[in-house]
Amino acid sequence: MMKEKGLLIVLSGPSGVGKGTVRKELFSQPDITFEYSISMTTRVPREGEVDGVDYFFKSREEFEKLIEQDRLLEYAEFVGNYYGTPVDYVRDTINDGRDVFLEIEVQGARQIRDKFPEGLFIFLAPPSLSELENRLIHRGTESSHVIANRVETAKKELEMMNLYDYVVENDQVKKASERIKAIVVAEHLRRERVEARYKKMLEVK
Ligand SMILES: Nc1ncnc2c1ncn2[C@@H]1O[C@H](COP(=O)(O)OP(=O)(O)OP(=O)(O)O)[C@@H](O)[C@H]1O
Ligand SMILES: Nc1nc2c(ncn2[C@@H]2O[C@H](COP(=O)(O)O)[C@@H](O)[C@H]2O)c(=O)[nH]1
């Protein structure tokens, strides 16, 4: 019998909305069964970031080679740096029946939606644009110039919200992670019901 494929879960949204914080909260819970796909980036590591844990840090040359070799499921240039998802890891994990969780920006999520429409697309939204800016300022990892750039980009990204299956507001980290967990559980149940109905229809024939 063919193994059931895992679900591709894509969490996206503007920089500073709290994707990383919510993802860490989710993955700190013992009952989480999905696997996190570690991205490739040309960005320099922030203090405390570890290669192979937070990202696979690459030079621009190395990254462009990965593009050439078609080893990325999607990639995007975001505020001066490349970011991309390793295709082998995602494909192998899903084919093995395990769910994969991506935390990526909006251009990349759009590319995946085109290539992999059966994915589950969740947009994490801020309570307001000013709160988004506050979060970026308080994180203290970018210069004011980069923050201004990310907030400008966010205005366009928020317009993409309606292309997603779900929008989750990140007002409180714990609540947002619980909402995402509930969405994934509901999506599995929905797919199981559809699959069961499909199998039943084939039996009748
Ligand atoms: N619900 C929340 N309420 C208040 N602050 C939050 C909330 N969620 C996250 N933050 C804070 O907002 C800042 C940005 O969060 P985080 O780095 O997780 O965002 P991100 O969307 O992953 O950003 P990027 O896309 O730039 O990586 C952090 O300082 C984080 O502690
Ligand atoms: N398209 C992709 N975007 C990604 C990927 N990994 C992370 N990201 C997103 O990039 C921005 C900036 O990240 P930061 O760590 O520099 O703050 C953020 O929105 C990330 O979610 C990826 O593989 N592909």
138 lines ligand 1 (CB under 6 A): yes
The answer to whether 80 is a known ligand-binding residue is no
CA distance 198 to 165: 22
Atom of ligand 1 nearest to the CA of 17: 21
Characterize the bridge pairing of strands 40-41 and 56-57: parallel
pLDDT score of 201: 86
Residue 32 DSSP label: -
pLDDT score of 183: 97
Atom of ligand 2 nearest to the CA of 142: 17
Name which residue leads in pLDDT, 69 or 78.
69
Q: What burial class does residue 157 get, using C-beta atoms within 10 Å of its C-beta: 0-12 exposed, 13-18 middle, 19+ buried?
A: buried
Least confident among 37-41, 58-62, 111-115, 167-171: 111-115
CA distance 171 to 109: 22
- Hey, which of 8, 17, 41, 66 would you mutate to test ligand 2's pocket, going by the most ligand atoms within 8 Å of its Cβ? 41
Nearest-ligand number for the alpha carbon of 101: 2
Domains present along the chain, CATH in parentheses = 8-37+99-203 (3.40.50.300)
Ligand 1, atom 23: nearest CA belongs to which residue?
Answer: 16
Ligand 2, atom 24: nearest CA belongs to which residue?
Answer: 84
Q: What are phi and psi of 166, to 5 degrees?
A: -140, 145
Taking residues 109-133, report their average pLDDT. Answer: 95
- Torsion angle of C-alpha atoms 168, 95, 90, 122, degrees rounded to 10: -10
pLDDT score of 189: 93
15 lines ligand 1 (CB under 6 A): yes
Residue 27 identity (one-letter amino acid): F
Taking residues 200-205, report their average pLDDT. Answer: 78
The answer to whether 127 is a known ligand-binding residue is no
The answer to whether 115 is a known ligand-binding residue is no
Reduced to 3 DSSP states, what percent helix, strand and coil does the chain have, rounded to the nearest 5?
50, 20, 30
pTM score: 0.94
Atom of ligand 2 nearest to the CA of 109: 1
CA distance 173 to 170: 6
Nearest-ligand number for the alpha carbon of 21: 1
Atom of ligand 2 nearest to the CA of 85: 23
Does the pLDDT of residue 196 top 70, yes or no? yes
Residue 55 DSSP label: B
Mean pLDDT for the chain overall: 94
ipTM reported for the complex, 2 dp? 0.97
The answer to whether 19 is a known ligand-binding residue is yes
